[in-house]
Amino acid sequence: MDKTYLEELTQVLQKDDRLVNKDGKLLKTRITEYSQNLDNDLIKLLLANKKLRDFFFKDIEGTLVFNQDKFLTFVHNEAFLADSFTAYKNRIGLAVDRKDYITEHNEVVLNWPYKDCVLEGGQDKEDQKRDEVFWNETLGADQQDVLLAPKVITGFKKYDKAGEHAVTELTDKDNLIIRGNNLLALYTLKKRYTGKIKLIYIDPPFNTGNDSFNYNDRFNHSTWLVYMKNRLEIARDLLAEDGSIFVHLDHNESHYTKVLMDEIFGRSNFVDEIIWSYGTASGGRASGAKPVNIHDYIIQYAKSYSRRIQNKLFTPYSQKYIDDWFKYSDNDGRRYRRRLIEKSGSGDATWKKQYLDESPGVPLTTVWSDIKQVYADPRAYKAGMENTTEIVKGFNGQKPEELLMRILQMATNEGDLVLDYHLGTGTTVAVAHKMNRQFIGIEQLDYGKNDPTSRLKEVIDGDRAGISTSMGWLGGGSFVYGILMNDVNVFIKEVEKANDSKVLSGLLTTVLSSNFLSHRVEPSLVESNTFSSLPVSQQKSLLIDLVNKNKLYVNYHDINDSSYKIDSNTKKINSWLQGRE
């Protein structure tokens, strides 16, 4: 890998004796002063280095223009001289131009520690997090470039009613399920799908302290915001000009997310905040003195407010409404009400019959209390009070198909492409499939028998759950499954399934000679004779500890590296994904 910009700039600036003290340490204040004065010698130093020239200068019709702001931002970032790793203060608040938290300006953005960083967000199991690295967007530019470069997808399989098939090609009409880190998968899809997604729905971790976002450190809130920002930025690129994104949250982070999305999507592209009132004030949630929380928030933004798809929806009249306002017509036995349509100049009214069976219903509001949540055992709840057509497949919090159906009805039409990169057990893609929408789903956790792939197979076979009856669903269709290639995960799975000391000793040899050995391990300290004397359980634990879990997935530009043993068909499909047919 090339030297980082940090190392490169340090070495270049140290060539100028004016910029260092007697100990050879760089003088930040003097570098700042010379930069602000456009010092000739400083500019010449930067121009003489191609990497720094490309980074700090902009070519405008053949003339190189020094980006002074970018240079000063880099220098003032305390990580440049080993003070801190982020340009943002250690508190969260509204600010303008990354500066003051108290402002009289009209535009505000949300600032927080590490905002100028990327968090990979790797996760192997729902209850397990690895030690993450924040890559600063300026200081860690090289690392970010590698991190966000397209990755290799492998293990392609196609599923339809006839079962599982090999995949020889992909087309724009294929439905996709991708297993792996969602940030890396989104950037891998960027070349093929930018501007093509009509709807993105995500149900991310709510950051409650009890969910899968278990970064339990003092920067937990900031970490969550970085995690969301990184993904929302690429999500915006993927949206079509008439597309929308719906983000499903609760009170823990919804208000911060609204301000964050104002910044990313533009305040003028905010569409609505939907209140999903999913339950009743009963059971465990009713204990305690404060009001019972029975709702979530669903925030909708458009890529372009004026161009968005927004289909008008109606909900049925309540029985009370029907009983109060409608009567049977003596002529035909149909329910109706009289509706005043105009008044003549003499004051006489003109009335018209409005028949119930011809009325679309009540216009959809932003409060949805008619769709109930899904429970693990629907038999425990009375019909009509809770959702009794679905059973929780993977975890509490699974969203009902009816909820996703309404969102898809609002913002898509048949044939449109839908994306969910927090797929969970697959409600979004199950509903999209039944509603004749194309879909892409991304999930990095494996839920076993409750995995989204298992659920989609049931959908293809004609399952009767959720919206199947109302949609007249009989089954059919297909989807393609693929995995982000990661040698680390392959190794870990081999360790987990091994139960023989001889096999594990062989895996020790593998990891000690691999490129994913943790940088914190000195290979010579791991002696094979000591390892072989350990119980199998301890051998497995040690092998997992030896692995650098932050090892990047296989980059697409390494696809022809013979050491990865990638077959020609996989290369062909990945080439198509990267627009290189």
Indicate whether 294 and 381 sit together in one domain: yes
pLDDT single digits (tens) 512-564 = 887 777 766 666 667 767 788 888 888 888 888 888 765 668 899 989 988 78
Last residue of a domain, one of 424, 455, 480: 480
Give a yes or no: residue 580 inside a domain. Answer: no
Give a yes or no: residue 100 inside a domain. Answer: no
Residue 409 pLDDT exceeds 60: yes
Indicate whether 184 and 261 sit together in one domain: yes
- Give the integer Cα–Cα distance in Å for 411 and 296: 19
Last residue of a domain, one of 80, 97, 120: 80
Give a yes or no: residue 99 inside a domain. Answer: no
pLDDT single digits (tens) 224-243 = 999 999 999 999 999 999 99
Average pLDDT, the chain: 84
SS3 labels along 550-579: CCCCCEHHHCCCHHHCCCHHHHHHHHHHCC
Residue 25 pLDDT exceeds 90: no
Indicate whether 383 and 342 sit together in one domain: no
Instruction: Give pLDDT, residue 549.
Output: 64
Instruction: Give pLDDT, residue 386.
Output: 43
Indicate whether 472 and 393 sit together in one domain: yes
Indicate whether 245 and 309 sit together in one domain: yes
Indicate whether 295 and 330 sit together in one domain: no
**Where does the pLDDT of residue 395 fall: very low under 50, low under 70, confident under 90, or very high at 90 and above?**
low
Residue 385 pLDDT exceeds 50: no
Indicate whether 395 and 287 sit together in one domain: yes
Instruction: Give pLDDT, residue 117.
Output: 85
| More confident site: 274 or 390 | 274
pLDDT single digits (tens) 281-336 = 776 667 778 898 899 999 999 999 999 999 999 999 888 888 877 777 787 888 88
Instruction: Give pLDDT, residue 241.
Output: 97
Give a yes or no: residue 578 inside a domain. Answer: no
Domain count of the fold of the chain: 4
**Where does the pLDDT of residue 340 fall: very low under 50, low under 70, confident under 90, or very high at 90 and above?**
low
Give a yes or no: residue 568 inside a domain. Answer: no
* Lowest mean pLDDT segment, chosen from 58-67, 173-182, 261-270: 58-67
* Lowest mean pLDDT segment, chosen from 21-30, 40-49, 482-491: 21-30
Give a yes or no: residue 570 inside a domain. Answer: no
SS3 labels along 225-291: HHHHHHHHHHHHHHEEEEEEEEEEECCCCHHHHHHHHHHHHCHHHEEEEEEEECCCCCHHHHCCCCC
Residue 379 pLDDT exceeds 60: no
Indicate whether 67 and 202 sit together in one domain: no
Instruction: Give pLDDT, residue 450.
Output: 76
Instruction: Give pLDDT, residue 366.
Output: 97
Structure tokens, 180: 């792996």
Domain residue limits at 399: 171-313+365-480
Give a yes or no: residue 564 inside a domain. Answer: no
pLDDT single digits (tens) 86-138 = 555 566 777 665 555 543 445 667 888 888 888 887 765 555 555 666 777 76
pLDDT single digits (tens) 505-514 = 888 888 888 7
Strands (E), 379-533: 417-420, 438-443, 479-484
Amino acid at 180: G
CA 44 to chain CA centroid, nearest Å: 43
Q: Of 220, 211, 227, which is closest to residue 260 (Cα–Cα)?
A: 227
559-580 mean pLDDT: 92
Instruction: Give pLDDT, residue 1.
Output: 33
Give a yes or no: residue 43 inside a domain. Answer: yes
266-292 mean pLDDT: 86
Q: How many of the other CB atoms lie within 10 Å of CB of 497?
A: 9
Percent of the chain scoring above 70 in pLDDT: 82
- Give the integer Cα–Cα distance in Å for 242 and 3: 42
Indicate whether 356 and 372 sit together in one domain: no
**Where does the pLDDT of residue 247 fall: very low under 50, low under 70, confident under 90, or very high at 90 and above?**
very high
Last residue of a domain, one of 34, 54, 80: 80
**Where does the pLDDT of residue 576 fall: very low under 50, low under 70, confident under 90, or very high at 90 and above?**
very high
Indicate whether 337 and 473 sit together in one domain: no
Indicate whether 431 and 341 sit together in one domain: no
Q: Give the CATH number for residue 395.
A: 3.40.50.150
Indicate whether 349 and 418 sit together in one domain: no
474-497 mean pLDDT: 89
